[in-house]
Structure 1
């Protein structure tokens, strides 16, 4: 195998090397495998290796795709490969095999990338950390004692440690942006309907969840979105009128100063760590130095109502997933089939009424209209990506007492009483206080990105989130391309494991 600095190249760079015959696709795949084998024992990012298929593909690939020969990892939920395992991070799905490629996977395949494995996720992709009981925790390459975030934590850790330049991800409440922030990567959540959701479904999480990728460079993310976007007849939602070349947008200067609003105040009224605020203040100074017009102003939405509507979705979707597991198992789901926290979320979903669910969707639409009006004035809305830096592995585990309560609630069917006692409001705060900024874009449908501009005094990255109006990923890529050229942009290659 030829020796070349594999980790120094992004996806586009590797594809150019292969296209110019400076390296072979087999050599690139071998280099990726070597990185995974060297680091995965410590990081635990890859839970299903597909080396033989990847090598076979590398031997017979062609140069027709923009990313031909580039290794990629897929997230172990929604991104289904025909006849491949898709466990959704849960023991309950340990024997499940996909019947066909998802549309997202079909389109990724056409880019010329070579699938080399699947990445770790929290059970059913429910958490902002990646510590499933079934596979064990994924660790942050910047410091193995800390989380890389979730739910796309395995993908983020793989890219940030240099295993692959690109990895599949999806985002239903921050699951691309949170791990991007915690690992020093670029992560963009596209507009609702921009990327495919089929073939089995017309929507993911009622339209809150969308698929894309995590990358080290902005241009990789932009080109990938150019290649996988587009109409899908089975999709329930389709995007707005802005159809541009995102790869070119990365290199395009703004024709005028942008109007930018920013806030460091948690939309649910909880605390925000000074380091996460500092990341935003640093971004504001950079934006002002470029001549943009920046104003401190909160988004015009009721953050607490929106958070409650998100958790209503959360409860309902988990209950529906547990119902599907019961149909698959042919019996009732028990604690042990799924983790205790998943089980109690499902019980609360069963106690959620149709009225609750409809009212929560109406809250989404109200917020979406408010934000569209907001963006008539402001091109961007800037916040911390998260309210806190990465937590330590195990720090957010449920306690033995909480585990005991879950068993009691489940055994005695007390979930309705739990809701009436107002405990759910406390659950909302506990679940979202560390990540209160990301859910809004999922519910309004607008695009949002996390950019890596700050490292804490403990040596851990945190991100800055930018939102734009629905359909305006081009503006986000323009801004990211501008920021990527500054000294503040984190070079992920500086982490010791890269």
Structure 2
């Protein structure tokens, strides 16, 4: 199979070729392995490969599996593979190995996917960029000097570069939608609890985290969701398996009432400055929607952005402190001696100082916002907003500076973490962490489904996604709208492939 032939198909297209016998699953895997080996030294999207194990597993995949032989990458975070490393982007977990498959990985195996490796993530998935100290930093295929975003940055880089047609991703504050926006991909965050996190976890970040994928096409995202959704044993929410996501996108949605916002209430307190191109992306999408017959009306969501950021960061701090305690227990290394990044250590120290009262009040605010957004969706079916304030940042631009890291190191002094919280350190953290991407956390706090649509490319050749949120549980209709816009815009032709240059001239050997 020629590499350019491989790269011009999404996962559904490759699956169809294999089922019709036009190409073998071994040839498809060989193409993917060749591309990963050629591209990854410069792209740095994949932290480890498992080609031989994938080949062994492929031989046992039944022909009737819906995606038999289609290559896929999982994320080096939460998506455990039995007996294999899962470092979560951290040197502290470099040697940790999972004792069983995660539910999601088990379901991917049942679908017939060939899991070829794991993709890069920032340490513990904490940043909207992917620049971990323990691993190489993935590059954005649209501009190698820029970040693919985070925390699913390695996944987005791999798909945008055409190494695999889709890659698994997770979203706790925008970590599917932000990389999708920066890399010109479709990124869908399902409703809370739709995709199970078991058996290692029940909820992550109080239910803010949902796993799914970054894809080139809406149909791949919908088909994947058809198979991986539904509670597993012991799940905290009684969401049974549902069918019909792929079938739904074959029909255009009925006329929708869509609110349009530039997200000003969310970014105001953080000092966010919306790039003119990001504004243009929203405005152009609003015009597209109106031309498709939908009712479009400018209206901001009913949220207090400052309170939203505070409550999000409050629980973020608390969970990081708990995560570091778990790592210490798993590795037998004291928290104070863990091999973690200065920013991670500093935030963990702040988290240990949180009062239970403040933590609970933070979660109660999430619930209040969810109620407010529920009322908002009685008036509007969907909300159109930016994903990020602009295009992908340059590598290193958003990582804490050496001066900031030295300042954070002072939190090791007795009594200083509590004093820092009392003096408003949480506000400063919110400003630093969320200023460039203040628009995505809302859906994580409320549990709503949300997506990034690759509808805009700047004159300088960089993609900017636009975000659409639906009411809680309205995943099908959100995917229907995505498919309608995909058919109207034809975004699949804009990927920056091949990567690396000249890769399409190679022909891999099968096997």
1:388 Cα deviation (Å)? 2.2
Residue 480 of structure 1: aligned partner: 482
In structure 2, the partner of 1:431 is 433
Paired position in structure 2 for 1:198: 198
Alignment of 1:84-163 (within 5 A): 84-163=84-163
For 2:62 and 2:242, how far apart are their aligned partners in 1? Answer: 28
1:405 to 400, 404, 407: 407
Report the alpha carbon displacement of residue 309 of structure 1 after superposing the two structures with TM: 0.6
Contact 1:160 1:492 in 2 (8 A): no
Comparing 265-274 with 278-287, greater Cα deviation is found at 265-274
- Give the aligned length: 496
* Offset, 1:488: 6.3
Contact 2:184 2:495 in 1 (8 A): no
Aligned 1:198-217 pairs, distance under 5 A: 198-217=198-217
What CA distance in whole angstroms lies between the structure 2 residues aligned with 1:119 and 1:274?
32
- Cα displacement string for residues 256-277 of structure 1 (whole angstroms, at most 9, x for unaligned residues): x210001013313032111111
User: Please, which of 384, 387, 396 is the counterpart of residue 385 of structure 1?
Assistant: 387
* Counterpart position of 2:180: 180
Change in Cα spacing, 1:434 to 1:238, as seen in structure 2 (3 Å) is farther
Contact 2:314 2:426 in 1 (8 A): no
Separation (CA, whole Å) in 1 of partners of 2:3 and 2:390: 40
CA RMSD of aligned residues (A): 1.7
- Cα pair 1:29 1:58 within 8 Å, conserved: no
In structure 2, the residue matched to 1:254 is 253
Aligned pairs for 1:301-380 within 5 A = 301-334=303-336, 337-380=339-382
2: CA distance, partners of 1:364 / 1:98:
32
Partner residue in 2 for 1:263: 261
C-alpha distance in 2 between matches for 1:149 and 1:117 = 19
Secondary structure in structure 1 of the residue aligned to 2:445:
helix
Equivalent residue, structure 2, for 1:24:
24
Contact 2:226-2:242 within 8 A present in 1 as well: no
8 Å contact from structure 1 (residues 167, 215) kept in 2: yes
The CA deviation at 1:495 is 4.7
Q: Which moved more, 1:462-471 or 1:401-410?
A: 401-410
> 2:424 maps to what in 1?
422
TM-score w.r.t. length of structure 2: 0.94
Closer/same/farther in 2, CA of residues 384 and 112 from structure 1, 3 Å limit: same
User: For 1:63 and 1:460, how far apart are their aligned partners in 2?
Assistant: 40
Work out the CA distance in 2 between the residues paired with 1:94 and 1:209. Answer: 23
Take 1:205 and 1:254, find their aligned partners in 2: how far apart are those partners?
33
Tell whether the 8 Å contact from 2:391 to 2:462 is kept in structure 1 after alignment.
yes
Where 1:337 maps in the other structure, the secondary structure is coil
- 8 Å CA contact 1:152–1:176 kept in 2: the answer is yes
Equivalences for residues 62-81 of structure 1 within 5 A: 62-81=62-81
Structure 1: runs of 5 or more not aligned: none
Q: C-alpha offsets along residues 17-56 of structure 1, whole Å, 9 cap, x if unaligned?
A: 1111111111000000011111111110001101101222
- Tell me the alpha carbon deviations over residues 67-123 of structure 1, each in whole angstroms, 9 at most, x when there is no partner: 111010000011001001000000000110000001111111111101100000000
CA distance in 2, matches of 1:57, 1:35: 20
Contact 2:216/2:492 (<8 A) preserved:
no
Structure 1 residues 161 and 2: alpha-carbon distance in aligned structure 2, compared to 1, 3 A threshold: closer
What do residues 352-378 of structure 1 show as CA deviations (whole Å, max 9, x unaligned)? Answer: 110111001111111111111111111
Range moving further from structure 2, 117-126 or 2-11 = 2-11
- Give distance in 1, aligned partners of 2:351 and 2:404: 18
Change (3 A) 1:3 1:191: closer
Contact preservation (8 Å) 1:483, 1:489: no
Q: Give the Cα–Cα distance (whole angstroms) in 2 for the partners of residues 461 and 105 of structure 1.
A: 30
* Shift in Å, 1:423: 2.7
Cα distance in 2 for residues equivalent to 1:244 and 1:473: 12
